[in-house]
Structure 1
Amino acid sequence: MADNSSLVGGQSLRRINERVIIVQILVMIFLCINLLLIMTFFKKECFYKTTRYVLFAVTLMSDSFLLFMSNIMLIFSYFELTMPVWLCIIISAVVILYFTVTPVTLTVMTLERYVAICMPLRHGELCSQSSTVNCILIIHGFSSIPFIVVIAIFFASASLSFYTQYRVCSIEIFILYRWQDDIRAGVYQFYFVLMCITLVFCYVKIMKVAKAASGEQRKSTWKGLRTVILHAFQLLLCLIQLWCPFIETAVLQITGSLKLFLFVKYMNYIIFILAPRCLSPLIYGLRDETFVHALKSYDFFGLSKRNI
């Protein structure tokens, strides 16, 4: 293992530096796009009075926060910068929370499309402003369960002296024993199954309405169906991330190559963390005519309105 570390630190140092730089560029691009969309959201009153746009904004802010915090943890890990365990616990707990908020919000957004298409007469009642506020609270409450479970079993297992130690911060700091990892995996797999059932249910119901619809209603319904499909793809990428630690551990145990392990970990970060977060602006930003029109109404920094 020491030889592998030497190899990665010596011959492959330039390549790893390039990878870190690429990640920083991608994170900055996504954060700038998200910031622009968030500013556009707050420019028009109709956006923060409409449920789907409010949920879209929640997703953007959740993704932005997660990208920012996980990128800081990535930099600390790459340069092997240590911090007190108690501080790492706080940072990691927040990351775990917002890692779950995004897929839960996507599931709720799919349900909103189901209500809009399959129960249009009740859409105004079920998706009112007060209902949207309650929905956001429920999303964060439901998303808190995994991180509460992880924190609880960690506190029950860690000694008091462990909190004063200095370590490189990562999510794996919560895993002291194998059974803790099994419990965490079980909780996330339950979420995975529950969200998949919800997506399939909404897809089947909307598909039935789409086949029976005609004219303008048919066009609107099929657009909603495509949105559900994009949500499903985005959600799948988010949830596959739950399996990444198992894949990375298996690669290291089977091959014993730290170089391959770091490459797999890097690709997992790009595909299953960065990629799903760049789909939100596409699904509810650039595909939505109202939002695109509002986006064009302001200059690049969203500070002054253009005459169009």
Structure 2
Amino acid sequence: MAANITTEYKINDKFMLIQVFVVLFLCINLLLITTFFTKEFFYTTMRYVLFAVTLMSDCLFLFLTNILLLFTYYGYTIQMWLCITIHIVLSLYMFVTPVTLTAMTLERYVAICLPLRHTELCSPRSTLHGIVIIHILSSLPCIVFLSIFFASASYGSYTQGRVCTVEIFIIHRWQGHLNSAINQFYFLIMCITIVFSYVNIMRVAKAASGEDKKSTWRGLRTVGLHALQLLLCLIQLWCPFIEAAVFKINLILFRNVRFFNYIAFILAPRCLSPLIYGLRDEMFFHALKRFALCGLRKKH
């Protein structure tokens, strides 16, 4: 009995730790989003607009995944139609962040390798079109996955109360294989884009000199961080299948694996966004510092 209480206590500690991390990252992201809207230059420049898109996407994704994580752990059931709605939003924004990171990498490629065309290709109008394309591309896997579910599920299942997990949408075994194939296709395209941009920027970096060389190497490091962040985001696409397999083996192991996956592949890549542009970008960092210290200066 004491052993069971101790295990439950430790698991509760883990979930409390997750809540602290989620609240911390949400507060940081909201601070950065507010800073983004304080300067016209930010919301008229493609890289900062795409940065804001990742922050908003991450906030929504973190909030909803945390709610579902708590529901799953405590065994709360919700109506199937509500679970489907949440799953649609999560499926969309699970892809929005990596697809946006890929677009940000392409923007750095254009800025460094095609500087004369940067103003034309990365104009505010092009940025708006880019955001629409990002959301269309991100919605395709969800449309395919849920179309199969809607075609296979009975009408009565929509009014049932269920613990909301991705596994309840997999009616046929081949659905999981199809979903995995789509994820791998996206993974391949994004990896090719990252490698292409990285190789070409490195080529320009070696040929550059003086201030241009310094700026180019900074862009190269940014693309490298995008690659790391993208890798962590894409590994997350395989987490539901790993967790489903572990769930059949042991419940405690399943909870530990889900906890690790949440920290490593959901929280970690999303805390890199503030680092890449919120702290490393000199202009945004100064704007953030001025905004954060504004209240203190007013008091004095």
The interval holding the TM-score normalised by the smaller chain is over 0.9
**Which residue of structure 2 aligns with residue 80 of structure 1?**
75
Higher relative contact order (CA 8 A, sep 6+): 1
User: Quick one: distance in 1 between partners of 2:154 and 2:236?
Assistant: 29
The residue identity in structure 1 corresponding to 2:273 is: S
Matched, 1:165 2:175: no
The residue identity in structure 2 corresponding to 1:260 is: L
Query: Aligned match of 2:126 in 131, 135, 140?
Result: 131
Report percent identity of matched pairs.
62
User: Quick one: distance in 2 between partners of 1:20 and 1:110?
Assistant: 34
Matched, 1:287 2:280: yes
Matched, 1:65 2:63: no
For residue 76 of structure 1, report the CA deviation from its aligned partner.
Answer: 1.2
The residue identity in structure 1 corresponding to 2:205 is: A
For residue 258 of structure 1, report the CA deviation from its aligned partner.
Answer: 2.0
Matched, 1:121 2:121: no
For residue 288 of structure 1, report the CA deviation from its aligned partner.
Answer: 0.5
Aligned residues: 300
Matched, 1:275 2:275: no
Matched, 1:205 2:203: no
Matched, 1:100 2:106: no
User: Quick one: distance in 1 between partners of 2:145 and 2:136?
Assistant: 15
Matched, 1:223 2:218: yes
The residue identity in structure 1 corresponding to 2:257 is: V
- For the 8 Å contact 2:166–2:240, the answer to whether it is kept is no
The residue identity in structure 1 corresponding to 2:54 is: T
Equivalent position SS for 2:292: coil
**Which residue of structure 2 aligns with residue 258 of structure 1?**
251
**Which residue of structure 2 aligns with residue 53 of structure 1?**
48
User: Quick one: distance in 2 between partners of 1:147 and 1:257?
Assistant: 29
The residue identity in structure 1 corresponding to 2:165 is: S
Q: 1:214 to 1:306 in 2, by over 3 A?
A: farther
- For the 8 Å contact 2:110–2:118, the answer to whether it is kept is yes
**Which residue of structure 1 aligns with residue 151 of structure 2?**
156
For residue 267 of structure 1, report the CA deviation from its aligned partner.
Answer: 0.3
For residue 249 of structure 1, report the CA deviation from its aligned partner.
Answer: 3.6
**Which residue of structure 2 aligns with residue 176 of structure 1?**
171
Q: Deviations over 1:48-93 (max 9, x none)?
A: 0100000000000000000011111111112111111011000111
Moved over 3 A (4+): 6-11, 249-253, 302-307
For residue 265 of structure 1, report the CA deviation from its aligned partner.
Answer: 1.3
For residue 296 of structure 1, report the CA deviation from its aligned partner.
Answer: 1.2
For residue 250 of structure 1, report the CA deviation from its aligned partner.
Answer: 3.8
Q: 1:8 to 1:152 in 2, by over 3 A?
A: farther
User: Quick one: distance in 2 between partners of 1:290 and 1:284?
Assistant: 9
User: Quick one: distance in 1 between partners of 2:283 and 2:4?
Assistant: 50
Task: Output the aligned Cα RMSD.
Answer: 1.9
- For the 8 Å contact 1:188–1:242, the answer to whether it is kept is yes
Equivalent position SS for 1:299: helix
User: Quick one: distance in 2 between partners of 1:42 and 1:136?
Assistant: 17
User: Quick one: distance in 1 between partners of 2:226 and 2:201?
Assistant: 14
For residue 28 of structure 1, report the CA deviation from its aligned partner.
Answer: 0.3
Q: 1:188 to 1:74 in 2, by over 3 A?
A: same
- For the 8 Å contact 2:77–2:162, the answer to whether it is kept is yes
User: Quick one: distance in 1 between partners of 2:31 and 2:266?
Assistant: 20
